Amino acid sequence: MKALVAVKRVVDYNIKVRVKADGSDVDIGNVKMSMNPFDEIAVEEAVSLKEAGKLTEVVVVSIGVKQCEETLRTALAMGADRAIHVETDGKLEPLAVAKLLKAVQAQENAEIVLLGKQAIDDDANQTGQMLAALLNAPQATFASKVELSADEVQVTREIDGGLETVAIKLPAVITTDLRLNEPRYVKLPNIMQAKKKPLAKTSPAELGVDVTPRFSVLKVAEPKGRSAGVKVETVAELVAKLKNEAKVI
């Protein structure tokens, strides 16, 4: 059984981004970029399923600028077998990404497609669900446990009130939540090996997908800042402030 894993190159999760002075976008020139944390979890899950003998091949795919190659090499160093880079310039909307992934899936015919539940840059939480719709495949989003059998996969999902388990037919789309696993650190020898693994290149034109944006960004603004608070010295003072000044208790 084969897995296709989608990974995105995003601003590192530790970085607090700033909005550009002209309000056109956020400033991500010269900041550290990394693999989206949820996608690391997706790669880890696929690689561990392969190590457990449940999968035969793990293919990673990334869509975006040339530097996405680094993200793909990281996934290869984690244990993925080969990579596909759909090279584009500029930002893509989740619907366009889902269409490109559908085209890649048409070539690869993987039984399982794994994605992160959301990318920490656009925070959309759409691509996996859209891909499942386009493939007419079932979806299990926000997965915290995945159990694979011959013709279906049981997935425990994180929902608002607790956990829910669904069984979905293959081929299936799964999006990962934080609690699914702890991604491994890549070791130096694996990074060296990953350089020799195959990395194929393609483009939206080759895949026959129209990626014209449906939205235009009018402006990007800083959030409304909170006015500076005060430090209180004692619990009594805090209670008095909450009762008399803030009037919230």
Partner 1 sequence: MTVLIIAEHNNNTLNPATLHAVTAAQKLGAVHVLVAGNAAAAVAEQAKQVAGVEKVLLAEAAQFENALPEEVAPLVVSLAGAYSHIAATATAFGKNLLPRVAALLDVSQVSDVTDVVDAQTFTHPIYAGNAFETIKTTESKLVLTIRATAFDAAAAEGGNAAVETVAATPAQNLSRFVGRELTKSDRPELTQAKIIVSGGRAMGSAEKFNELLTPLADKLGAAIGASRAAVDAGYAPNDYQVGQTGKVVAPSLYVAVGISGAIQHLAGMQDSKVIVAINKDPDAPIFAVADYGLVGDAFDLVPELVNAL
Q: Which of residues 87-116 bind partner 1 (CB under 8 A)?
A: 93-95, 98
Q: Looking at 47-55, 64-72, 200-208, 230-238, which segment touches partner 1 (CB under 8 A)?
A: 230-238
Pair 175, 70: CB distance under 8 Å: no
**How far is residue 63 CA from its own chain's centroid?**
12
Select from 136, 153, 154, 156 the least CA-distant residue to 145.
156
Asked if 129 touches partner 1 (CB under 8 A), the answer is yes
Asked if 84 touches partner 1 (CB under 8 A), the answer is no
Asked if 52 touches partner 1 (CB under 8 A), the answer is no
What whole-number distance in Å separates Cα of residue 173 and Cα of residue 133? 9
Minimum distance from residue 190 beta carbon to partner 1 (Å) = 25
Asked if 179 touches partner 1 (CB under 8 A), the answer is yes
- Contacting residue, 1, 125, 145, 202, with partner 1 by CB under 8 A: 125
Select from 27, 29, 11, 31 the least CA-distant residue to 19.
27
DSSP 10-24: EE-TT---EE-TTSS
Of 17 and 192, nearer to partner 1 (C-beta) is 17
Asked if 33 touches partner 1 (CB under 8 A), the answer is no
Asked if 178 touches partner 1 (CB under 8 A), the answer is yes
Q: Looking at 43-51, 70-78, 104-112, 155-163, which segment touches partner 1 (CB under 8 A)?
A: 155-163
Pair 20, 220: CB distance under 8 Å: yes
Of 69 and 122, nearer to partner 1 (C-beta) is 122
Q: Looking at 7-15, 45-53, 56-64, 186-194, which segment touches partner 1 (CB under 8 A)?
A: 7-15
- Contacting residue, 134, 186, 199, 200, with partner 1 by CB under 8 A: 134
Of 74 and 156, nearer to partner 1 (C-beta) is 156
Select from 82, 7, 43 the least CA-distant residue to 184.
43
- Contacting residue, 21, 52, 188, 236, with partner 1 by CB under 8 A: 236
**Cis omega (within 30 of 0) for bond into 171:** yes
Cα-only R_g, the chain: 21
What whole-number distance in Å separates Cα of residue 111 and Cα of residue 172? 6
